[in-house]
Structure 1
Amino acid sequence: MIKNQIKKVAFTWPNGYYNDGIKLGIGVSDKLDFGYLVSEVPANAAGTYTTNQFQAAPTKLTKTMINQDHQLQAVVMNSAIANSCTGAQGEADAHEEQQLVTDKLQLDPSLVGVASTGLIGAFLPMDKIKQGIAQLSPHHGDNVTRAVMTTDKQPKHACVQLEMAGKKVTITGFAKGSGMIHPKMATMLGFVTTDAAVDGDFLQQMLSQNVDTTFNQITVDGDTSTNDMVVVMANGKADTPELTSVDDADYEAFNTGLHTVLGELAKQIAADGEGATKLVECNVSGALNEMEGQEVAKAIVGSNLVKAAVFGQDPNWGRIIATVGNTTAHVDTEHVAIMVNDVPMVADSVAVPFDEQAASQKMGADKVVIDVDLHAGDATGQAWGCDLTYNYVKINASYHT
């Protein structure tokens, strides 16, 4: 019932937000590479961040700002250079970016976050950054969604609308990510905005729970970067009652909308994996518990052997069942079932007859869905990845040069 109240709509910003994205020449490409996202008023905020031990300077700074009182009003962001593993200079540069935006917008520094993505180990060209911040101006298009792209083939965004207390609420998100994607919060950045009013601590709780079943369930190459960050801002401009707990009347609707946006962005990242030609979705049923269902699903979409088989349209279910067996999940090893794009291939852990040529043709679709039943319980799991192609190696063999 609640899902029917959530409408996916064309990209539009919620009330009270503006952005900009410009070409600053931070890297060697001619893409937009610098921008900002701003709320007209201070917004309650939440964030999740990379678990990589080498956490980039902008990621650490934004985490500190949000953790102070779960508020944020602006985020300045760039692609091409990650400002990671840059020592004291990198931290000073991130703080200088924050101060420049603070001065430009006349905000408290605690309300300004910083995000960077790109090459690890390089320093930001601060002379260009200063010029760029001076050039930024309020717009309502989608330039900022393109300013964070690195090897992404296209911008990634999602938007839903719903009613809360009889008023229209919009939840809009955008993300970047194509390689180094294996979140436990990858060079992956995600930003979600809403005009709903949500308590900051409660927003943090909702974000953390939803990230576990969306962004943390995608993988492109098994590598987690130093700059991962997902930030949600709720500025209350829709003039709805503030959500503070799961008992609030509109909690379920808002939470479903948030999950929808995060899930759509996660799938877009997986589908746009470096060199990828197919989105791979794995649905696990019959798991002992949700944690084990998620573990198995992510292991399957992350297996290089499975990914290569998907690229080659090879219906080699042995790659899948072997991956299941390599996890720590409970499995009824006598009764596992496997299906690929609706073609049953395994029942009771042994092959069933199927037309291999027809199955191979079906694996040529843009999306390959792998269904696995562990027969160990009633829980489920879901994850997304992509195929492993020759082009992935080509892209990453020359990323630096």
Structure 2
Amino acid sequence: MPVNLSAPDPASLHPVPGVRLGITQAGIRKADRRDLSVIVLDEGASVAGVFTKNRFCAAPVQICREHLAAGAAVRAILVNTGNANAGTGADGLARAHQSCEALAALLNIQPQQVLPFSTGVIMETLPVDRIIKGLPAAIAALRPDAWDEAALGIMTTDTIPKAASTQVQIGGVTVTLTGISKGAGMIRPNMATMLGYVATDANINPALLQALVTEAADASFNRITIDGDTSTNDSFVLIATHQAKHARIESLSSAEGQVLRAALIEVSQRLAQAIVRDGEGATKFITVQIDGGRNEAECKLAAYAIAHSPLVKTAFFASDPNLGRILAAVGYAGIDDLDQTLIDLHLDDVHVVRAGGRHPDYREEDGQRVMKQSEISVRVNLNRGAASATVWTCDLSHDYVTINADYRS
């Protein structure tokens, strides 16, 4: 069961003018499962994205990068689940290209205007014939208010769909941002998420989109980890249709640019945190906050050392306040000149460590009280500067092993 996360209310997901979504069952891996999604964009839309830093990246990631770098005006996004089309070599690239060509022909656009995405099992041949056969049904289902169905259609081991939406005022005009994401395991994105898409009708200079999507990813999807693994297929895409009737945003530092930036980060963080809450086998949602660093980079080192540690994560699952594991993780994080005598540690409201040693008022029953909660915050102060960083993670349970042991069955 996901940690304090419920399926989104379809009525809360605002349609984005200029975006239509269609979902169908193509039988890519399993029958009777929504596994093929098409997102069609009106002419004039702009797209930017960030992708996995895993050097063994999937065929669709390679093609997305190629199409975006070529400057093609993206008109469609194609997503299949059940098969990652990764580790498939030249054949995988050819099949991904074939899927783009088929969708382009049906939409009367160019193949370079299609961005393909795949998620699922690695090193298996993409059943492109099933994708092509399913495309007409997906196109026939296109409508602007299908965000909830699209969230369902991109799931793999997720137990619940993930979507978020908000509206803000820019220049006296209502601007919409709506997005979906998927992911539950193999999550330490190092760029974005397994798959994530956010669309807005904001009228923004297209040249600003890449910086905006990168900043949003760094503030959200790049701050989560479930198991420390970076997928071959991680992708996060920002779509702007420019259809809102306000003056065009020409600078992200302008008042209007800051409103849009804040709204995008809010939606992205909601989607990213939903992935952690639905982590494979997760029973607890954990916020790790590091303060008092000399720079953000060393704060992130300490935060991820805690969030990745199997010993820390299993202690949280067991509600065992074996909090020396947290200190050990900070110690091996890679901050070479760290002074352990300056470190403070809080577990929610409980002051566990002061000046590098056990706080004289700390009682184990207080630590255990916090550890039994479904939502927990870990705060470490390095007391060596003014920088800070926050990472979101979950515990590591028996079910995580079971899910991944049976993943291909």
Which of the five TM-score ranges fits, normalised by the shorter chain? over 0.9
2:181 is aligned with 1:175: yes
Paired position in structure 1 for 2:295: 289
Paired position in structure 2 for 1:4: none
**C-alpha distance in 2 between matches for 1:311 and 1:97:** 43
Deviations along 1:209-235, one digit per CA (max 9) or x if unpaired, are: 221221111111111111110010001
Aligned match of 1:222 in 217, 221, 228? Answer: 228
Aligned match of 1:75 in 61, 77, 97? Answer: 77
Aligned match of 1:334 in 332, 341, 351? Answer: 341
Paired position in structure 2 for 1:365: 373
Give the direction of change, closer, same or farther, for the CA distance of 1:342–1:73 in structure 2 (3 Å limit). farther
Paired position in structure 1 for 2:7: none
CA contact (8 A) 2:177 2:199 kept: yes
Paired position in structure 2 for 1:89: 91
Structure 1 segment 53-202 matched on structure 2, within 5 A: 53-69=55-71, 71-136=73-138, 137=140, 138-139=142-143, 140-141=145-146, 142-185=148-191, 188-202=194-208
Query: What amino acid does structure 2 have at the position aligned with 1:372?
Result: V
The range that moved more, 306-315 or 123-132, is 123-132
Paired position in structure 1 for 2:5: none
Deviations along 1:62-89, one digit per CA (max 9) or x if unpaired, are: 1111222274221010111001111222
**C-alpha distance in 2 between matches for 1:359 and 1:10:** 38
The range that moved more, 68-77 or 377-386, is 68-77
2:353 is aligned with 1:346: yes
Aligned match of 1:397 in 375, 381, 405? Answer: 405
Give the direction of change, closer, same or farther, for the CA distance of 1:71–1:164 in structure 2 (3 Å limit). farther
Following superposition, the deviation at residue 13 of structure 1 comes to: 2.3
**Secondary structure in 1 aligned to 2:325?**
helix
**Secondary structure in 1 aligned to 2:55?**
coil
Following superposition, the deviation at residue 98 of structure 1 comes to: 0.8
Following superposition, the deviation at residue 23 of structure 1 comes to: 1.8
Paired position in structure 2 for 1:12: 14
The range that moved more, 167-176 or 203-212, is 203-212
**C-alpha distance in 2 between matches for 1:70 and 1:210:** 23
**Secondary structure in 1 aligned to 2:340?**
coil
**C-alpha distance in 2 between matches for 1:339 and 1:29:** 49
Paired position in structure 1 for 2:319: 313
Query: What amino acid does structure 2 have at the position aligned with 1:375?
Result: N
Following superposition, the deviation at residue 364 of structure 1 comes to: 2.2
CA contact (8 A) 2:44 2:242 kept: no
Following superposition, the deviation at residue 40 of structure 1 comes to: 2.3
Deviations along 1:114-137, one digit per CA (max 9) or x if unpaired, are: 000000011122221111101112
**C-alpha distance in 2 between matches for 1:82 and 1:187:** 14
CA contact (8 A) 2:181 2:193 kept: no
**C-alpha distance in 2 between matches for 1:360 and 1:351:** 15
Aligned match of 1:387 in 353, 373, 395? Answer: 395
Query: What amino acid does structure 2 have at the position aligned with 1:396?
Result: N
**C-alpha distance in 1 between matches for 2:403 and 2:174:** 43
Query: What amino acid does structure 2 have at the position aligned with 1:339?
Result: H
**C-alpha distance in 2 between matches for 1:183 and 1:316:** 28
Query: What amino acid does structure 1 have at the position aligned with 2:180?
Result: F
Paired position in structure 1 for 2:6: none
CA contact (8 A) 1:46 1:70 kept: no
The range that moved more, 386-395 or 24-33, is 24-33
**Secondary structure in 2 aligned to 1:265?**
helix
Paired position in structure 2 for 1:5: none
**Secondary structure in 1 aligned to 2:324?**
helix
Query: What amino acid does structure 1 have at the position aligned with 2:340?
Result: T
Following superposition, the deviation at residue 90 of structure 1 comes to: 1.0
CA contact (8 A) 2:192 2:218 kept: no
CA contact (8 A) 2:193 2:272 kept: no
Query: What amino acid does structure 2 have at the position aligned with 1:238?
Result: A
CA contact (8 A) 1:270 1:386 kept: yes
Deviations along 1:307-352, one digit per CA (max 9) or x if unpaired, are: 1111111112211111111112353311211111221111111112
Structure 1 segment 196-215 matched on structure 2, within 5 A: 196-215=202-221
Following superposition, the deviation at residue 244 of structure 1 comes to: 2.7
Deviations along 1:140-176, one digit per CA (max 9) or x if unpaired, are: 2221111110100111111121111110001111110
TM-score w.r.t. length of structure 1: 0.94
**Secondary structure in 2 aligned to 1:172?**
strand
Query: What amino acid does structure 2 have at the position aligned with 1:341?
Result: D
**C-alpha distance in 2 between matches for 1:67 and 1:241:** 27
Give the direction of change, closer, same or farther, for the CA distance of 1:395–1:67 in structure 2 (3 Å limit). same
**C-alpha distance in 1 between matches for 2:107 and 2:254:** 34
Following superposition, the deviation at residue 29 of structure 1 comes to: 5.7
Aligned match of 1:237 in 232, 237, 243? Answer: 243
Following superposition, the deviation at residue 186 of structure 1 comes to: 8.6
**Secondary structure in 1 aligned to 2:42?**
strand
Following superposition, the deviation at residue 273 of structure 1 comes to: 1.1
The range that moved more, 367-376 or 132-141, is 132-141
Unpaired stretches in structure 2, ≥5 consecutive residues: 1-10
CA contact (8 A) 1:70 1:200 kept: no
Give the direction of change, closer, same or farther, for the CA distance of 1:163–1:186 in structure 2 (3 Å limit). closer
CA contact (8 A) 2:25 2:31 kept: no
**C-alpha distance in 1 between matches for 2:320 and 2:72:** 48
CA contact (8 A) 2:193 2:236 kept: no
Following superposition, the deviation at residue 294 of structure 1 comes to: 2.0
Query: What amino acid does structure 1 have at the position aligned with 2:348?
Result: N
Deviations along 1:30-52, one digit per CA (max 9) or x if unpaired, are: 43111111222331111101111
